[in-house]
Amino acid sequence: MKLTLQIWRQAGDTDSGHYETFEVDQLDAGMSILEMLDRLNEQLLHEGKEAIAYDSECRESICGTCGINVNGRPHGPQPHVTSCMQRLRSFHDGATVRIEPLRAGAFPVKKDLVTDRGGLDRIIAAGGTVSLMAGTAPDSDAISVGHDQVERALDFAACIGCGACVSACPNGAAVLFTGAKITHLTMLPIPAIERNERATYMVAAMEDEFGPCSLYGECVLVCPQNVPLSAIGSLNKERLRSLFHPRI
């Protein structure tokens, strides 16, 4: 198949950027969008031009490194799928596809499709580690965590930190991400000990760089890990709760 690509080119963080149009031919519907970019880059290098910069790592939906806006949608047209797993069969032969970086005020573009998503790391860092002197190893059954509870915690722990939710949000908020990170720790007994401190610091770091939530519900449509909207209510609960239970 053949596609016309309008791709965002930006030389560096001070450059204002523009779209550049490319034609790519002999594509396979089973290729991923990133493989298509690889094909295009080969073509560009062959012509002695500069390749398009973009991020990826695992290419199997587990690391959260990839992430581009395809036709205005974070990750691409298929819901709940990372860019690295989006297949070209979503497009008609001969279609025009617009590819740009994950847009958000807090994600400055470094080059072409590469953004700096360090703001998300700074939220995580503000939460600190779960660092406890737990003494000798406790009996394996001393603190029981039920199966359902673990499954629920894992629903939130599934977040891969890709930042698609921020880019989808009309307010540029990172509330789904932060809610997922805070909630999975709150649901387990040892990390729950520091829940109030963690909520205070992580929410402060989040609000420092990201916007407020108005509950548009756009984030959950693109989240590749299906993090539920409950993460948002949970984050608000943890922050309000920390007012009444100052632990540390």
Q: Which residues bind other proteins (CB under 8 A)?
A: 72-73, 100, 103-107, 122, 125-126, 128, 131-135, 138, 142-143, 167-173, 183, 189-190, 192-194, 201, 203-205, 207-222, 228-234, 236-241, 247-248
> Would you give the binding string for ligand FES spanning residues 78-97, x where CB under 6 A is met?
----xxx-------------
What three-state secondary structure class fits 164? helix
Pick the closer one to other proteins by CB: 42 or 217.
217
Q: How far is the CB of 234 from ligand SF4 (least distance, A)?
A: 12
**212, 173 Cβ separation under 8 angstroms:** yes
d(CA 37, CA 31): 10
d(CA 16, CA 13): 8
- Exactly one of 56, 115, 178, 183 binds ligand FES (CB under 6 A); which one? 56
Residue 57 as a binder of ligand FES (CB under 6 A): the answer is yes
**In this structure, what are the phi and psi dihedrals at residue 142, rounded to the nearest 5 degrees?**
-65, -40
Q: Which residues pair with 115 in a beta bridge?
A: 109
Rg over CA atoms, the chain: 20
Q: How far is the CB of 15 from ligand FES (least distance, A)?
A: 25
How many other C-beta atoms lie within 10 A of the C-beta of residue 126? 17
Residue 175 as a binder of ligand SF4 (CB under 6 A): the answer is no
List of residues 6+ apart from 243 with CB closer than 8 A: none
Residue 115 as a binder of ligand FES (CB under 6 A): the answer is no
Residue 226 as a binder of ligand FES (CB under 6 A): the answer is no
How many other C-beta atoms lie within 10 A of the C-beta of residue 42? 11
Q: How far is the CB of 130 from ligand SF4 (least distance, A)?
A: 19
Which residues sit at the interface with ligand FES, rule CB under 6 A?
56-59, 61-66, 82-84
